Structure 1
Amino acid sequence: MKNKNILELCLAHGLGGLELFVASCYENFSSKATCKVVVAPGTKLDNYLENIDKFHIQRNKLFPFIPALQLAKYIDENDIDIVHFHWTRDIITAVLAKVLSKKKPKLVQSRHMRMTRFKDDFYHKWLYKNIDMMHAVTLQVKEQLEKFIPSEIRPKIGMVYLGVKASKIDEVKVAELKKQYNLKDEFIVGIVGRIEEGKGQYKVIEALYALKDLDIKVLIVGSAMDEEYLKTLQDKVSDLGLKDKVIFTGFTKDVDEYMQCFDVNILATENETFGLVVVEAMVNRVPMIATNKGGPLEIIEDGADGLLFDGSINDLAEKIELLYKNKDLKESISKAGYLKAREKFDWDKQLDKLYKAMI
């Protein structure tokens, strides 16, 4: 049997865990099969995938047949067997392309977001009837898909956690970062991700204010999706008198090296579906504090390999202070988190499971 030709589709404009997973799928699947990538031109994902051959189409909300026709032609020209898409808004483009193509490829959707309402209207029934498989990134998402998609049109559903690579650290880069940001013996709290209100950077800033008498600095790593919101955060830092304690680094590809500067990493999202940054921190031997909802509940055993907080600023401050004052707990969580990340969330193992399920 010939190797399958796989197409990774993602027209999203951001660069978070979903988009980085597209890059991971391409990298891993390319070692097993012929793999193509379709992205929107000029997006952060397009720029991130800088040295590979990509096909560009632009999402068209009003006239979805236009990008679907372009995609259908590309599918047929490249003999694509499987279209693997990730962004929920790409569902209409993918389904229409399948219908319009001669090849009629298998459609697989990785579902990175929660599903909260029934998909039993005519439109959604037509869409899901044309999808062959859905990949849920957590057990919670799998349960939601089974609950909200009617059984008679529900695609095959598989659950595979996302995975991370064991980090290969550039120690020279780490030293450069510490020098660049004048990091010495302070306790460094990090938060990595897009700068937007839902990611909760403001909670970390306010928790720092509650702990202002301790020797703590915060590194906020990520690009701003909304410059106005970034300015709001910067003004908050200034108003609270924390300008010498909070550093906004902007976007970086060197996430592992930044994490080597952290004493703890925070996920402050109110309800993260999975939380790739959680396992990224764990594999970097950085203790993790995450909100006690959604994906982190399936990753972290509270008090053993990470800490969970209730979403409030007071509880977040208490958890940070706990690690600040308890070096033994910090080290035990670091070690246990690393071992769990290697055993349960290994990049190669998880993507191999997904690949086998897809084909």
Structure 2
Amino acid sequence: MRIGITCYPSHGGSGVVATELGKLLAENGHEVHFITYEMPFRLGNFHQNIFYHEVEANQYALFKFPPYDLALASRMAQVAIDHKLDLLHVHYAVPHAVAAVLAKQMVGDHLKVVTTLHGTDITVLGEDPTLKGIIKFGLEKSDMVTAVSDSLIQQTYDMFHVKVPIERIYNFVDERVYYPRDVQSIRRQYVSDEEKILLHISNFRPVKRPKDVVDIFHRVQEKVPSHLLLVGEGPELMNIHQQVIDLGIQDRVHFLGKQNEVAQLISLADLLLLPSEKESFGLVALEAMACGVPTVGSATGGVPELVKQGETGYLANVGDVPAMAESAIDILSHPHLHEKMVSNGLERASKHFSGSAITKQYEALYQRLLQQD
């Protein structure tokens, strides 16, 4: 098949999943065309069967804001015609779904549109009354709609009352990248043999509740000798720096900034902290699971579909810092419990969330859609 993929090329989960899916599809022999304003950061080096098409918005003087959505639709249509695309698979509803629908109207009905919802395009942007109508339009005009968790599907129906079927296809990890690595030499740079490492990776927005991360760790390190690795950047980071200083734990908290390749970093950790207010899936928890790292976090959104309570980690209500801290202490203080959760997580990641299995689900969906004519 000839497949166009549009996503945000940033470090966010939707862009990561879209890029990794495109790479796996290309490995399976499909021709994949990325259509974005910038090269997706996970794309990197040359890949056979993968092509990149940049979108440039017109900077005409009368435009107060460059019309990126129109430029995207036009570029989608151009690439679809020039390369005889079978379908456009767009990740994130705004503005990608609407742009793809417009491109289809320009090219013809033989071009199919698959829209994948990733979370905040529904749970955050869907609450904006200026966007709600256009999001609903994009979903209802798509030929297929998928979402990354059952929770997100239900939220979409509740918020938009769309009548189109939404198919759940979970996020995934490439097991050739995410696996338990031997990182003892690196680990010694942060902790002694008796100390533990806790990890948090996010964009440090308020919805990720990074303050809770530090509060949880503050309680944990009083009972279990440990260090905290913070990976990522975002608007709350300065506040977190100050919080760490106020608590007097700056010698135990390490700010590692934005990292492109996190698989090795994840393998350093004994535990992942994910106390988010909203998580439609929780991709970082899956990446941790595949690397042999249990999760302690919030029972929100799609996370309970991924993290099995008491089996691969512990979940508590959003904001329940004491409960999450006690769960973390429990896991880190009992080696047999930790080993059991590691083993359960590796098995679950391989069985239910492998890249090869999820790619097959998308391929089957594409084939089903193209055979409808």
Aligning the two structures, in what range does the TM-score lie when normalised by the shorter sequence? Answer: 0.7 to 0.9
Tell me, yes or no, if the aligned pair for 2:93 and 2:135 is still in contact at 8 Å: no
2:82 to 77, 96, 106: 77
Q: How far has the Cα of 1:349 moved from its partner? A: 0.5
> Secondary structure of the residue that 1:242 maps to in structure 2?
coil
> Secondary structure of the residue that 2:268 maps to in structure 1?
coil
2:149 to 138, 142, 147: 138
Tell me, yes or no, if the aligned pair for 2:179 and 2:291 is still in contact at 8 Å: no
> Secondary structure of the residue that 1:243 maps to in structure 2?
coil
The farther-off stretch of 120-129 and 321-330 is 120-129
Which amino acid in structure 2 is aligned with residue 79 of structure 1? K
The alignment status of 1:353 with 2:350, answered yes or no, reads: no
Q: How far has the Cα of 1:169 moved from its partner? A: 5.5
Whole-angstrom CA distance in 2 between matches of 1:125 and 1:235: 41
The alignment status of 1:333 with 2:341, answered yes or no, reads: yes
Structure 1 pair 127–88 and aligned structure 2 pair: CA distance change class (3 A): closer
Q: Give runs of aligned pairs for residues 308-323 of structure 1, distance below 5 A.
A: 308-311=315-318, 312-323=320-331
Whole-angstrom CA distance in 2 between matches of 1:121 and 1:84: 21
Whole-angstrom CA distance in 2 between matches of 1:33 and 1:186: 47
Whole-angstrom CA distance in 2 between matches of 1:5 and 1:289: 41
Structure 1 pair 339–67 and aligned structure 2 pair: CA distance change class (3 A): closer
> Secondary structure of the residue that 2:105 maps to in structure 1?
helix
Whole-angstrom CA distance in 2 between matches of 1:101 and 1:140: 34
> Secondary structure of the residue that 2:114 maps to in structure 1?
strand
Identity %: 22
Structure 1 pair 333–68 and aligned structure 2 pair: CA distance change class (3 A): same
Q: How far has the Cα of 1:62 moved from its partner? A: 6.3
Which amino acid in structure 2 is aligned with residue 107 of structure 1? V
Q: How far has the Cα of 1:182 moved from its partner? A: 5.1
Q: How far has the Cα of 1:146 moved from its partner? A: 4.3
Which amino acid in structure 2 is aligned with residue 284 of structure 1? C
Whole-angstrom CA distance in 1 between matches of 2:213 and 2:345: 21
Structure 2 alignment gaps of length 5 or more: 59-64, 368-373
Whole-angstrom CA distance in 2 between matches of 1:207 and 1:290: 10
Which residue of 2 is the match for residue 278 of structure 1? 285
Whole-angstrom CA distance in 2 between matches of 1:244 and 1:201: 18
Whole-angstrom CA distance in 1 between matches of 2:364 and 2:228: 41
Which residue of 2 is the match for residue 261 of structure 1? 268
Which residue of 2 is the match for residue 218 of structure 1? 228
Q: Give runs of aligned pairs for residues 103-114 of structure 1, distance below 5 A.
A: 104-113=110-119
Tell me, yes or no, if the aligned pair for 1:273 and 1:294 is still in contact at 8 Å: yes
Which residue of 2 is the match for residue 189 of structure 1? 198
The alignment status of 1:343 with 2:339, answered yes or no, reads: no
Whole-angstrom CA distance in 2 between matches of 1:176 and 1:196: 32
Structure 1 pair 261–65 and aligned structure 2 pair: CA distance change class (3 A): closer
Tell me, yes or no, if the aligned pair for 2:212 and 2:275 is still in contact at 8 Å: yes
Deviations 1:69-100 (A, max 9, x none): 22211211111111001122122222222212
Which residue of 2 is the match for residue 5 of structure 1? 2
> Secondary structure of the residue that 1:249 maps to in structure 2?
strand
The farther-off stretch of 175-184 and 311-320 is 175-184
Which residue of 2 is the match for residue 236 of structure 1? 243
The farther-off stretch of 86-95 and 16-25 is 86-95
Whole-angstrom CA distance in 1 between matches of 2:234 and 2:57: 19
The alignment status of 1:21 with 2:21, answered yes or no, reads: no
Tell me, yes or no, if the aligned pair for 1:75 and 1:103 is still in contact at 8 Å: no
Which amino acid in structure 1 is aligned with residue 297 of structure 2? A
Structure 1 pair 337–48 and aligned structure 2 pair: CA distance change class (3 A): closer
Deviations 1:200-251 (A, max 9, x none): 22212112222343311101122x133xx21211111111111111001122
The alignment status of 1:49 with 2:60, answered yes or no, reads: no
Whole-angstrom CA distance in 2 between matches of 1:62 and 1:92: 17
Whole-angstrom CA distance in 2 between matches of 1:77 and 1:163: 31
Whole-angstrom CA distance in 1 between matches of 2:72 and 2:307: 41
Whole-angstrom CA distance in 1 between matches of 2:335 and 2:191: 23
1:93 to 84, 88, 99: 99
